Structure 1
Amino acid sequence: MKSPRALAVAAALALAPLTLGTLACQQSQPDAEANAREQPLGRALVVAPLADAHPWSMALLTAAAHRDDPDDSELEASLGRRTGAAGRPAPDPILRAPERATLEALLASHEAAHARPEGLRPVYLDEGESWRLLFVEDADAVEVGPGQGLLRLVDTPAGLRLRLRLAKEPGAALRALTEARVGDRVALVDGDVVLMLPTIHEAITSGELELPPFPSGAPTPGADPDAASRARFESLR
């Protein structure tokens, strides 16, 4: 028969691997949770001012509003108004259709007759049940390359939100852009798709942007905002 001391040593050796394994699991759990909520930006994004009153895009809007089939419900073309700097009204050109392809066809038709100026770039905003055609000015755009930002999923009183903290250089460029564009709108763009479209009320000095769950800012009927924020996080990491 083994002595009490031998039994105690054997028991300790038997338990040791389980104890060490449990500690390793406990230590890796916070790391896994952090990785699930914080990742470097993996895509190239652009922050660019909107060309709300550019003569070329306004001419496109006018042509669309006076097209041969104005009763066609597939395309909305109108000049709205929004609040700009110091509360003054500012133009809000609206080109909207249920399908993005309708807007692409409209743009191609106009470009065939009127060359689009260099630096004026078309982008598309997904509004859930419709798409909108907008234009940005590339000359004043801030480029954010892969690795030049940190994506974070953050719990807020309004639910889960995705935040993008820019590196020093693009963060400084964003500050300069927004200082010069108070009252204007800027678009955060991935390729030619708008991720967010805020109006600048004051300079963004923190270098951080909070992306709404839905690009247009308005919730998509029946969609889960938290799930939408997670999906945007995964698509940009």
Structure 2
Amino acid sequence: MTELVESYRQMSDYEKVATIDMGGTLLSRPQDSPSTHARLNVALGLAEQEEMDLYVEFQAGNGEINDHSEHARKQTELLRGLEDADIETYANTVQEILQDTELMPAAQRFTDELDEMGYTTVAVSSAPPAVTMPYADELELDGVYRWKDYNFTDSGLFDRVWVNPEAQNGKHEVVEGLQDQDTDVAHFGNGDNDKGAVKAADAGKRQWWMANPDKAVDWALKEAEKL
């Protein structure tokens, strides 16, 4: 069963870890589908333009968010108190996202072969665990790193968007934290928020996976063989 990882320190005993993006790498959705966070934010009550403005405000030159904690603070400020911002709306939207999501062709082959190479496989995604965990379980990944999440009060009202302080500047901080524990790390993904992680990792590849998933997996596995 896939473990929910709250800190890279939980992985201190692993010699070799593959950190893997989910959406666009292991999972596919319709090409015109908004990002998971955009879809959740709009469902919880943000206007589409307001959601876009929020992203643009914190977008760095490379397309990445320049401070995920500050972005989440502003996101929280905009969402808190909205009429639709509650756990029921969130849960219904998560189910809709899951219904629109499929495993990428060759995703199972990719993760199985990483296992055979001796990697511990851990999903590192900006999508909340409610969206990623079902597919991580299906792929039998070892872990899902809890990087970002939506929190609700006991009465079911939206409370805040939470960002793991270990990685407030990006996924690369998870990679670097693992390396500081003498773990070899390979990172694979397709998004702007994977650039820094691939650069920091001991091996890895940022590439477009959807056009030819089998070829993308072959390239990624060739890179993984370096460790």
TM-score (norm 2): 0.26
Richer in helix (by share): 2
TM-score (norm 1): 0.25
For the pair shown, the structure with the greater C-alpha radius of gyration is: 1
